[in-house]
Structure 1
Amino acid sequence: MIKKLLQSVFLTLVCLFIALTSQGQGAQNPLIHADVPDMAMIRVGDTYYMSSTTMHMSPGLPIMKSKDLVNWQLVNYAYDTLGDVDALNLANGKNAYGKGSWASSLRFHDGTYYVTTFAQTTGKTYIFSTKDIEHGPWKAQSFEPSLHDHTLFFDDDGKVYMIWGGGQLKMVELKDDLSGIKPGTESVLIGNATAPAGPNVGLPAEGSQLFKVNGKYYLFNIAWPKGGMRTVIVHRADRITGPYEGRVAFQDKGVAQGGLIDTPDGDWYAYLFRDYGAVGRIPYLVPVKWEDGWPVLGIDGKVPDELNLPASKGLIPGIVASDEFTRKKGEPALPLVWQWNHNPVNELWSVTQRKGYLRLKTGRVDKDFLQARNTLTQRTLGPESAGSTAIDVSNMKAGDFAGLALLQRQYGLVGVRYSNGAKSIVMVNAESGSPVVAESVPLKQKKVYLKAEADFNDRRDVATFFYSLDGKTWKKIGSQLKMAYTLPHFMGYRFGLFNYATETPGGYADFDFFRVDPSLEGSFQKP
């Protein structure tokens, strides 16, 4: 009896210790260990919204929601497709890798949400607006020219402005209906916004985000001095037209580009991001204090590892998620975690033609994976992650290639190739910039399981590929891929499901599921 009592007391103490310890563990930096760059953020009441860059992906301009600044969930996109041009359609040998839409601006004004972006690909500036940011519908407006890294700003006098540029920052006033620029309103706002960072300029000041706090205007920019690191520059003025005085506001670990957000309790943070190798550009939060009318970023000028905010519950399923491809009545065809590589051809994919499967059909002949239409993607996540799928390849045609990829310019993939009357499991390594078949294994059955592991720990940036004939015993295939974040794609590695034809269109592959796990030892069970 005494022994049982002691055991009960011991277990109670252990549970109490675990509970107290877990309560003490708050949020950690990085805030999101996945590719969510160029963030813009607002708070409406007790709810935060964030937009980000996904460039050539479709749908684009993702909207995320949080109640605590830490745990984020994808809730919408501002557009399905940005435009109908060859580069966005992966047509006629053209592509929009590293282009498409870039850094957005996010605002809430008089009951309406506004998210804006610009695109080199189309040469336009875009304004999307809605009363319901989580569900839409969105009103879309666009005008020329493309205002690089602009910030949208509604001033208290009813005027609406955009500030944009690199090094020399300019400002325009927009028409009352936001349909374009008011003629004759363009002016140089700051002649050399990079000056506070010194004369040795690598990347001139860009990434403008403007805020008004206690009657003063604060303009955030990023610069990159040669031989230095990404740097936050802040300019301050009493009037939106200036004059502005500037200073270096933050310089640590290359964490930069973003702006200010406050909590309902009156705490302030700067949301910024960091280039972090192959996983992409990952968000950080830095506490802000106000001194002499200036925002002072960081703890003693440094990025803190821990934040006085609730702990993260993980990026699954809010930012990335598994998918069994089963759909109940009324559910969208694809969850928001999915984005197509460039504009999709909607007639060539389905989640209804075979219940519980994603069907990818081929509609044309392509010679290269990077030009293939309808590759379905979602983010990888750090510090490590793995994705797996199973494919029924019985309806592929000669020359077809279907499988699982890690998408970037120097990609890697494992899939099934139908060639010379036989199917083979093939691993392709494009680490050199050109695709190389690292290994090929004959396949005698119609279903095969594929897996890709991405190790981003300490920027190792190594990927390993596997296959299985029964979904239980995995065999490594091919060579390890040394992943590299390349500027031609300007995006962290993404998991991708693909199927393309090299000889005759019309075949298809059926994907049974996609399962993602935040470890390299995942069980890949159903979510």
Structure 2
Amino acid sequence: MKIIHHLLLSVTVAFSFADSFAQENAKAHNPVIYADVPDESIIRVGNTYYMSSTTMHMSPGLPIMKSADLVNWQLVSYAYDRLVDNDAMNLDNGKNTYGRGSWASSLRYHNGTYYVSTFAATSGKTHIYTTKDIEKGPWTTIEFKPDLHDHSLFFDDDGKIYMLYGAGNLTLVQLKPDLSGIVEGSEKVVIENASAPAGDNIMLKAEGSQLFKIKGKYYLFNITWPRGGMRTVVIHRADKISGPYEGKLGLQDLGVAQGGLIDTPDGKWFSYLFRDNGAVGRIPYLVPVEWKDGWPVLGTDGKVPQTLDLPANKTLIPGIVHSDDFSRKKGQRDLPLVWQWNHNPDNALWSVKKRKGFLRLTTGRVETDILSAKNILTQRTVGPVCTGYTSVDVSNMKDGDFAGLTLLQKNYGQVGIKIEGKNRFIVMINAGDGTPVEAARIPVTEKTVHFKAACDFTERKDMANFYYSTDGKNWNKIGTPLKMTYTLPHFMGYRFGLFNYATKATGGYADFDYYRIEETISNE
């Protein structure tokens, strides 16, 4: 009997442990999205959450994502197709807008209309986009000068509309009823030295404003960065939108900061924030919020928890990134929402219709390197590991053309076919130290070549390797490992990119048969 009793006890303990493990795994975990989705602004409309984010120099831009649980998100729209048509955004005349374009946005829902606003040094304007249907559009554009830095759009109960913006000293302005500009004489600095709750030795002045009204009080969230410390959340509150405001330190853990507040239909509160996480980019976190003495208290004992009392994270495929065989049925978009162009594309030089089941990239001008090349089609990398694949038919490329797969950032890596005279070479370029170096060159005769890049962002390892194959089955590593570095000039996590550019003459084209992404790392 003792043996049976001990056996039953062991089985019970084992099942209890397994059940506990299963329950723990059924919870959400941080980061909620292991990909570059910075500067989030989140609203809830009924039981559905919507989020806007920053993609800067990419087109289309100002992505809108949707979630039923705050954890698992899918792209549903972009607020604009093109931010502006100028040399910088078009990559013309030697100009670019890497690391600029549109920055932090403010997403709002008011009286049946969705509003998302942003600002851009590239245009010198503040941009407001409105729609009745956030998922299907269409979007209406309103623009005015100047560009109000890191503003928060706010509709007050009395019908007045405001923006609160700035860095360090934060300014409130009232907007005209039609949102076409600032009401003259309405500017007022409402908080001087908004970083003060985090100390007096500050290297990043308080910015990233997000303003909320909860139970009659105004709450303002900002990010700041004490010198020698970490990115920090500061919170201010006031009884009137014009102040006076009192402030306190909101969260100082893991460098998780910049964001705001969101509640669930059942009355729970969270703060949505992001963390700089090396080469993969700035990745979203959620922290639970409790209310004490009229203040939101962030985190679990002041810390960012690893798990959350929310539904478990699912794969980022297909919601945030996705594979594509470039086959299109009638009525489908030419490019799914997961794709964005590096800068504004030249739409005359790409097609998914000229050859069924292929993306065709045609050269339209001579380039010096990949960073100046038009029509690089990109998707995010994802962590902790991922692999991107493609296949290129190079039959119609011209002398000097270079086509293939890149990991795009200032310190990029690329692998592809380069045509020199009548010869074809697989070439790998490594710009990991800031200077592009040809790390490998292999002659080939095949007209179709497959390429892949495998990324390891685990614990900020930030390493990638490139591979090629002539049959799509047997892979060969090529060149040198790429040390990926998040650089401020590009201000974006690494992206997979499909490219074709000319270095001698225009008119050649490359046909890409597929793009595949996996949340695994493949070294073979």
Q: TM-score, normalised by structure 1?
A: 0.95
| Whole-angstrom CA distance in 1 between matches of 2:365 and 2:444 | 25
Structure 2 partner of 1:5? none
Name 1:205's counterpart in structure 2: 206
Q: After the TM superposition, which of the residue ranges 402-411 and 192-201 deviates more from structure 2?
A: 192-201
Three-state SS of the structure 1 residue aligned to 2:265 is: coil
Structure 1 pair 473–16 and aligned structure 2 pair: CA distance change class (3 A): farther
Secondary structure of the structure 1 residue equivalent to 2:310: coil
Please list the CA deviations of residues 406-440 of structure 1 after superposition, one character each: whole Å capped at 9, or x if unmatched: 00000001100001321100100011212110000
* Counterpart contact for 1:35–1:282, Cα < 8 Å: yes
Deviations 1:149-171 (A, max 9, x none): 00000000000000000000001
In the alignment, does 2:217 pair up with 1:216?
yes
SS state of the match for residue 141, structure 1? Answer: strand
Q: Distance in 2 between matches of 1:461 and 1:508?
A: 32
- The corresponding residue for 2:484 is 483
In the alignment, which residue of structure 1 is the partner of 2:7? Answer: none
Aligned letter for 1:45?
Answer: G
From the superposition, tell whether residues 21 and 228 of structure 1 become closer, same or farther in structure 2 (CA, over 3 Å).
Answer: closer
Residue of structure 2 equivalent to 1:355: 356
1:227 aligns with 2:228: yes
Within 2, Cα distance between the matches of 1:522 and 1:182?
Answer: 59
Equivalence for 2:378? 377
- 1:35 paired residue number: 36
1:393/1:446 contact within 8 Å kept: yes
CA distance in 1, matches of 2:391, 2:426: 12
Distance, in Å, in 2 between the alignment partners of 1:22 and 1:48 is 27
Amino acid at match of 1:198: G
Q: For 1:485-524, what aligned pairs fall within 5 Å after superposition? A: 485-521=486-522
In the other structure, the counterpart of 2:56 is: 55
What does residue 149 of structure 1 align with? 150
Shift of 1:22: 3.7
Q: How does 1:94-493 map to 2 (within 5 A)?
A: 94-493=95-494
Give a deviation string over 1:368-411, Cα, whole Å, max 9, x none.
10000000000000000000000000000000000000000000
Deviation string, structure 1 residues 91-122 (Cα, Å, up to 9, x no partner): 00100000000000000000000000000111
Does the 8 Å CA contact 1:386/1:522 hold for their aligned counterparts?
A: no
3-state SS of 2:403 partner: strand
Query: 1:15: Cα distance to partner?
Result: 11
Structure 1 Cα separation of the partners of residues 17 and 208 of structure 2 = 45
Q: Is contact 1:101-1:119 (8 Å) kept? A: yes
**Residues 72, 319 of structure 1: 8 Å contact kept:** yes
Quick one: distance in 2 between partners of 1:210 and 1:175? 19
Structure-1 separation of matches of 2:434 and 2:325: 33
Q: Distance in 2 between matches of 1:415 and 1:23?
A: 46
Distance in 2 between the 1:371 and 1:439 partners? 22
Residues in 2 aligned to 1:53 and 1:522: alpha-carbon distance in whole angstroms: 32
CA contact (8 A) 2:454 2:522 kept: no
Q: For 2:459 and 2:202, locate their aligned partners in 1 and report how far apart those are by CA, in whole Å.
A: 29
DSSP 3-state at the match of 2:119: strand
4+ residue segments displaced more than 6 Å = 14-20
**Cα separation, 2, equivalents of 1:16 and 1:318:** 34
CA 1:225–1:397: 2 relative to 1, 3 Å: same
CA contact (8 A) 2:454 2:523 kept: no
The Cα of 1:18 is off from its aligned counterpart by: 7.2
Q: 1:9 — aligned with what?
A: none
Equivalent position amino acid for 2:153 in 1: L
- Secondary structure at 1:82 match in 2: coil
Deviation (angstroms), 1:314:
1.1
Q: Secondary structure at the match of 1:113?
A: strand
Per the alignment, in what secondary structure is the counterpart of residue 209 of structure 2?
strand
Q: Distance in 2 between matches of 1:283 and 1:320?
A: 16
- Counterpart of 1:413, as a letter, is Q
- Please tell me whether the aligned partners of residues 56 and 88 of structure 1 are also in contact (alpha carbons under 8 angstroms): yes
Deviation track 1:486-517 (CA, whole Å, cap 9, x = no partner) reads 00000000000000000000000000000000
Deviations 1:32-91 (A, max 9, x none): 000000000000000000000000000000000000001100000000000010000000
Structure 1: give runs of 5+ residues left out of the alignment: 1-13
The aligned amino acid for 1:168 is N
Aligned Cα RMSD in Å? 1.5
Looking at structure 1, the residues matched to 369 and 523 of structure 2 have their Cα atoms a distance apart, in angstroms, of: 31
- How big is the shift at 1:23? 4.6
CA contact (8 A) 1:429 1:479 kept: yes
SS in 1 for 2:234: strand
TM-score by structure 2 length? 0.96
Rounded Cα–Cα distance in structure 1 between residues aligned with 2:369 and 2:15: 55
Q: Deviation string for 1:267-325 (max 9, x for gaps)?
A: 00000000000000000000000000000000000000000000011101000000000
Report the CA distance shift for 1:330/1:18 in structure 2 as closer, same or farther (over 3 A): farther
